[in-house]
Structure 1
């Protein structure tokens, strides 16, 4: 009898991860998994491009957003977290806090830009309903961590995943505004090729991610 599958976990496990979520949350868990199973060969590929799991030979992916099961892929939700509107205390001291969506026009904003366009923010209006807000800014950044750095330095308001700014908020470098209002929820999912028998190394990795990422939920 193999205790907890320790000796049975072997072979190659190829995993593709989005860069920031992978670096901050997922890769440390999978590195620990590899340490626990010396016969496991672990390949981690961090990239934000769309990856064809089957064509490129990946065993597992972690993807932002909910992913529906299909004929060729299976999925499992791993984590749901809010996106938070956050800012530094220095910025608030200098410029005050916006109270309404209309007030945002008088503030410096730090949107994420991709393919030459700023992504729409989904923020609560006066009735507490989430609405799309087109954001304009003199800053054009295509990296969420750089946006978090800019917000920490007092350069404006940022709308970011909680997992990315959690430690900054705990240290007091960033504070959340409108935290008592409805917020957009982000999900991440494990995705793998559909097959009759999922290898133990993949199944245990998915189970571990589900358990460990649960700890990233807000307390």
Structure 2
């Protein structure tokens, strides 16, 4: 595994052999044995260059973490300190990243210059392990049962909104119980995507099943379609840009208690987290945690 990673990092068998202090034939033989054992081709070889296959790219990503974790375990056992370094792959909802991660990311990069941050803005439900992420931030009222580690970071206020044109055509619901009679724009998720919950000022819980006229994995698209009068939406308040104040949109049920969506940190259940992941988690908790 170490030999394979070195070949990829160097881009050639010859340079990898120099770094590993082995012969080129030994390095080539190790790669052949690895591919034979795995039953897949990891590298495409030509006389001029090497390139990773799809399987090779996935294997390389996991190798990086495994090798680094092994090094860190040794360093922890021997009392050595290890500064965060290497590629850190993070997935984060678009709106939350722009509103909260963007203002502080530069500070983290200054603190840890040897960490290369790969930040993917994505409102889809990604697979932490299969997609090769070190850390995923996910907005959800609840999470699927999982072997992954999940830790609440913070929460964001959500609001129920509609355009004046929609309310003029379809009427204004006086309570959440009337939402079942309306067209709604909903965020697509695997967990209770058609169930909206509210609490009145006395604490009484209302659970409403809504009829989704549009399902999307983008809060920005929800907002745009709501402004276009296509239905009632419930979106994070940080998506808005003064549309309520400017009366482009109307906030519904403002006499109810504020609604919140939790933001979770999700990462593989490993006893020894790579220092690059631990440093980023600690940084986010320090800056954004409640």
TM-score normalised over the length of structure 2? 0.54
Q: Secondary structure at the match of 1:140?
A: strand
What's the counterpart of residue 203 of structure 1?
278
Q: Structure 1 181/195 Cα, relative in aligned 2: closer, same or farther at 3 Å?
A: same
Unpaired segments ≥5 residues, structure 1: 1-6
What's the counterpart of residue 15 of structure 1?
90
Q: State whether residues 80 and 188 of structure 1, in contact with CA within 8 Å, keep that contact through their aligned partners in structure 2.
A: yes
Question: More displaced, 7-16 or 24-33?
Answer: 24-33
What's the counterpart of residue 239 of structure 2?
164
1:76 has 2:151 as partner: yes
Q: Secondary structure at the match of 2:185?
A: coil
How far off is 1:190 after superposition? 1.0
How far off is 1:170 after superposition? 6.0
How far off is 1:89 after superposition? 5.2
Q: Secondary structure at the match of 2:266?
A: strand
Q: What is the total number of aligned residue pairs between the two structures?
A: 205
Q: Structure 1 153/59 Cα, relative in aligned 2: closer, same or farther at 3 Å?
A: same
Q: Structure 1 12/118 Cα, relative in aligned 2: closer, same or farther at 3 Å?
A: closer
CA distance in 1, matches of 2:170, 2:159: 19
CA distance in 2, matches of 1:64, 1:26: 14
Larger-gyration structure (1/2): 2
How far off is 1:77 after superposition? 1.2
Q: Structure 1 61/131 Cα, relative in aligned 2: closer, same or farther at 3 Å?
A: same
Q: Structure 1 175/24 Cα, relative in aligned 2: closer, same or farther at 3 Å?
A: same
Aligned residue among 195, 202, 214 for 1:140: 214
Aligned residue among 108, 125, 130 for 1:49: 125
1:109 has 2:184 as partner: yes
Q: State whether residues 100 and 125 of structure 1, in contact with CA within 8 Å, keep that contact through their aligned partners in structure 2.
A: no
Q: Structure 1 197/130 Cα, relative in aligned 2: closer, same or farther at 3 Å?
A: same
1:151 has 2:226 as partner: yes
Question: More displaced, 96-105 or 204-213?
Answer: 96-105
Question: More displaced, 191-200 or 125-134?
Answer: 125-134
How far off is 1:201 after superposition? 2.4
Question: More displaced, 123-132 or 189-198?
Answer: 123-132
CA RMSD of aligned residues (A): 4.0
For each residue in 1:107-155, what CA deviation from the matched residue of structure 2 results, as whole angstroms up to 9, or x when unmatched?
Answer: 553334569x972222457976333322236x42413321211223444
TM-score normalised over the length of structure 1? 0.68
Q: Secondary structure at the match of 2:118?
A: strand
Q: Which has the higher contact order (CA 8 A, sep 6+)?
A: 1
Q: State whether residues 194 and 210 of structure 2, in contact with CA within 8 Å, keep that contact through their aligned partners in structure 1.
A: yes
1:179 has 2:244 as partner: no
How far off is 1:59 after superposition? 1.9
